[in-house]
Amino acid sequence: MNAKMGMDEFNRKIKRVLISEEEIAEAVKKAGKQIDELYDGNPILLVSILKGAFVFMADVCRAVTVPCEIGFMCAKSYYNGTVSAGAVKITMDLDQDISKYHVVIIEDIIDTGRTLNDVVNLLKARNPLSLEVITLLDKPSRRVVDFKADVSLFTIPDYFVIGYGLDCGEHYRNLPYIAEYGE
């Protein structure tokens, strides 16, 4: 296969745009305002889970006008079928002592809910002043564990989506919109 054909195939798998750059920008602005109003004057720590949420985090933190700090975690959950095989494995942890902060988790997508459920339980055990979860996307039809975000910007059907930080095989994270991925 020559390089040109490879590129055509790569682009063909971007099936259709589900959420445009403009729609995302508007929703992010609203989320920033919500954070401003909710935590006005209090010490907040925005925590995102790598890698998927890095673009959303970059935009949300710039939509917030009250003082805030940012932190990153890398988490992996291990399961035997649908049964949790143990606690979430943190491959990169926060360097802040979160007991001094109102923590706001900035997540890209909630699918089965397993990862976030584990991360939330783990962070709660560290006694933050409070803990909220904001997710860009929610696929409620795919839920395996009962988990609900405090704020969800877009609810989507059971599509595999790419772009705006979300990947398929580590590609497409740099698309500025959310698209459905398809063969």
Question: Which residues carry out catalysis?
Answer: 111
CA angle 30, 140, 60 (to 5 degrees): 25
Choose the contact partner of 135 out of ligand IMP, Mg ion, none; CB within 5 to 8 A by kind.
none
Q: How far is the CB of 108 from ligand IMP (least distance, A)?
A: 5
Q: How far is the CB of 90 from ligand IMP (least distance, A)?
A: 14
150-163 burial by CB neighbour count: b if 16+ within 10 A, else e? ebbbbebeebebbb
Strands 68-76 and 89-92: antiparallel
Q: How far is the CB of 61 from ligand IMP (least distance, A)?
A: 18
Q: Which is closer to ligand IMP, CB of 59 or CB of 108?
A: 108
178 lies in the site for ligand IMP, by CB under 6 A? no
Residues 57, 58, 60, 66, CA torsion sign: positive
Q: Which is closer to ligand IMP, CB of 115 or CB of 152?
A: 115
Kindly state the number of chain residues that form the binding site for Mg ion, as judged by CB under 5 A. 1
Site for ligand IMP in 21-60 (CB under 6 A): 52
- Chain centroid to Cα 132, Å, comes to 13
Q: What's the helix, strand, coil split of the chain in %, to 5?
A: 30, 35, 35
166 lies in the site for ligand IMP, by CB under 6 A? yes
Contact residues toward Mg ion (CB under 5 A) are 52
